[in-house]
Structure 1
Amino acid sequence: MDEPDEPDAPDAPDEGRYGADLFSPEHTGEGARIDYGALAYDAGSRARLTALGVGPGWRCLDVGAGTGTISRWLLDEAGVDEVVALDRDPRFVDARPGGRLRTTAADITDPTLSPGRFDLVHCRFVLMHLRSHAEVLARLADWVAPGGWLVVGDAVDLTTSGSPQAAYRRTMAAMWQVLRDRIGTDIGWVTRYPQLLRDLGLLEVGAEVLMPPLTVDAPVTAFWKGTWLSMRDTLESGSALEPGELDAALDYLSSPALADLSPGMITAWGRRPGP
């Protein structure tokens, strides 16, 4: 039986936030870590946006733009008219003054934030890190112009608990627990995206899940290595991992014996009623 939904807790100003308590953009290698995640999941995002018809004439908002890979694809390949790349710290987005790609440094949890209306609002790997995810999701839907699309994506872990590799399984579980304890990350609700979007009044709602395989040379494998190394001190001091267990998990990700499915990405979409 499903547990009743609990109201969102407010997000703290800085402490306990993604980019502040963990994954600071000041951390060496953070841009590369984000890029590995983009290499793992961008193809799925691009395919979905293409299927929705994104193209010339569209104004797009890319929330949590990361290193700007989707923002640049929207301009260079999809041919949209304008992209606003919004991030708390958009330093990794290569935007040029006066161009069709512009950056906005803003906190998505700020209730006064009002960037306008867009034909596409795209938000990936953001809401899962916010205690106020339901409130922010509703705000994102409000920023979609009539007839436009909201596309949201987050991590979903459907496979790790069944891995026969104990060190890998326990390290991934410890990571999710530390993320929840330290910055409020919660992926337990993300499979409800279709119903959440429908409850917000969106039409033509759909969802899909992409789960890339873990191989030694895969970008997603490098992403998890970078994530665990970035969290090493927290994982080793603030979780139930045994001494040496994290290193054993990292060794497994570099081993010819590596054979698992990575945690995946759920993407959901819906169209705002209108022309």
Structure 2
Amino acid sequence: MRHDPYGTGVLSKDIPTELRRLQLLENALDPLSIAAVEKLPLGSAPRILDMASGAGSMSYWLADRYPGGSVVSADIDPRYLDAERAPNLTVRTFDIREEDFPEGSFDLIHARSVLKHLPEREDVLARLVDWLAPGGWLAVVDGYWFPSDDTAHPEWGGVLRAIVEQMNSQGGDMRWTRRLPGLVARLGLTEVDVRLTPSLAGWEGWGEQFHRWIRPTIRQTGPTLVEKGYVTAEEVERFLASEDGPHMAEWFGVVASVVGRRP
């Protein structure tokens, strides 16, 4: 099995704070995933794949939502997943870059915050489509980070630029998601739907969950960002100490929810 660039280093599950960081990210993104999925005509017994399922919140929601169906919760490192959480839930250790499911295996595939981290992202996307049964649905939720040089808050710009550089150095592309709707359509999916949600920092109301997630992410990754010379320790501290409130609100990106159906 090849080296896992996402699961090591700054986002490794060996880091004690990573579970909590993932849970905060789930709190921010679950409403978007649920909104994308719950309207789909899946019937009472869909076969579902939750790919790169992290700490498991969407796998558990899907298992509860469709008790007559089956949910495969797949992750390259499933240590946070509870295989006993539901009788229709199967937890599987799975490297999406190396392993396959048979064509037509699933009626719904949900993939969140994974493709932008993989150098093979477009090949993986094509394989996700192959795993869909005719009439099956693909729901991809992933973020796009805005360039940081136009921020209104100098104490943020260098740090946000640094986290993008770190992720890109691991084979990611934090701005790839803008291509996702067109790629999905070119792979033959129909009924393509796209929803964009702002990732808003510095605000305790609208976007509060994103606000709560970004600081722990910077706190966890900060030492590596400093060590690599992407940012100074002082810049990290200024970011973490910056005050909150509507006067500080700023989008640092958007999250795209893209859904399409295999004919």
Paired positions, count:
258
Q: Are residues 1:30 and 2:18 paired?
A: yes
1:184 aligns with 2:174: no
Tell me what 2:96 maps to. Answer: 108
Q: What SS is found at the alignment partner of 1:52?
A: coil
Q: C-alpha separation between the residues in 2 aligned to 1:54 and 1:261?
A: 34
* Cα distance in 2 between the residues matched to 1:244 and 1:55: 54
Say if 1:59 and 1:80, in contact at 8 Å, map to a contact too.
no
**Partner of residue 207, structure 1:** 194
Displacement of 1:263 after TM fit?
2.6
Kept after mapping to 2: 8 A contact 1:124/1:153: yes
Q: Which of 2, 5, 13 is equivalent to 2:2?
A: 13
Unaligned runs of 5+ in 1: 1-11
- Structure 1 vs Structure 2 CA RMSD: 2.1
Instruction: For 1:99-178, list aligned pairs within 5 A.
Output: 99-110=87-98, 112-114=99-101, 117-158=105-146, 160-178=148-166
> For the structure 1 residues 80 and 167, does the alpha-carbon distance in structure 2 shift closer, same or farther, using more than 3 Å as the test?
farther
Change (3 A) 1:38 1:262: farther
Instruction: Measure the CA separation in 2 of the matches of 1:203 and 1:255.
Output: 42
2-structure distance, mates of 1:134, 1:82: 27
Q: Deviation of residue 207 (structure 1)?
A: 1.3
Partner of 2:181: 194
Distance in 1 (alpha carbons) for counterparts of 2:177 and 2:227: 28
Tell me how far apart the structure 2 counterparts of residues 222 and 137 of structure 1 sit (CA, whole Å): 30
* Alpha-carbon shift at residue 66 of structure 1 (Å): 0.9
**Larger CA deviation: 20-29 vs 91-100:** 91-100
Normalization by structure 2: what TM-score?
0.90
- 1:244 is matched with which residue? 234
Residues 51-62 of structure 1: matches in 2 within 5 Å?
51-54=39-42, 56-62=44-50
Gap regions ≥5 residues in structure 2: none
Superposition TM-score, scaled by structure 1 size: 0.86
Instruction: Classify 1:242/1:222 alpha carbon distance in 2 versus 1 (closer, same or farther; 3 Å).
Output: same
Cα distance 1:210–1:55, how it changes in 2: closer, same or farther (>3 A)? farther
1:50 to 38, 41, 46: 38
Structure 2 distance, partners of 1:96, 1:130, is 29
Larger CA deviation: 171-180 vs 53-62? 53-62
Give the partner amino acid of 2:51: V
Deviations 1:61-83 (A, max 9, x none): 00010111111111223545111
Contact persistence 1:159–1:261 (CA under 8 A): no
Which residue of structure 2 aligns with residue 65 of structure 1?
53
How far the C-alpha of 1:198 sits from its partner, in A, is 1.3
Task: State the partner residue of 1:7.
Answer: none
SS of 1:163's equivalent? coil
Change (3 A) 1:152 1:80: farther
Please tell me whether residue 94 in structure 1 is matched to residue 82 in structure 2.
Answer: yes
CA distance in 2, matches of 1:98, 1:171: 40
Q: 1:114, 1:246 → 2: CA distance?
A: 42
Residues 4-48 of structure 1: per-residue CA shift (max 9 Å, x gap):
xxxxxxxx9216x00123311111011110010111111111011
Inter-partner Cα distance in structure 1 for 2:233 and 2:107: 50
2:212 to 183, 197, 222: 222
Does the aligned pair in 1 maintain the 2:215–2:240 contact within 8 Å?
Answer: yes
The residue identity in structure 1 corresponding to 2:136 is G
Match of 1:255 among 240, 244, 247: 244
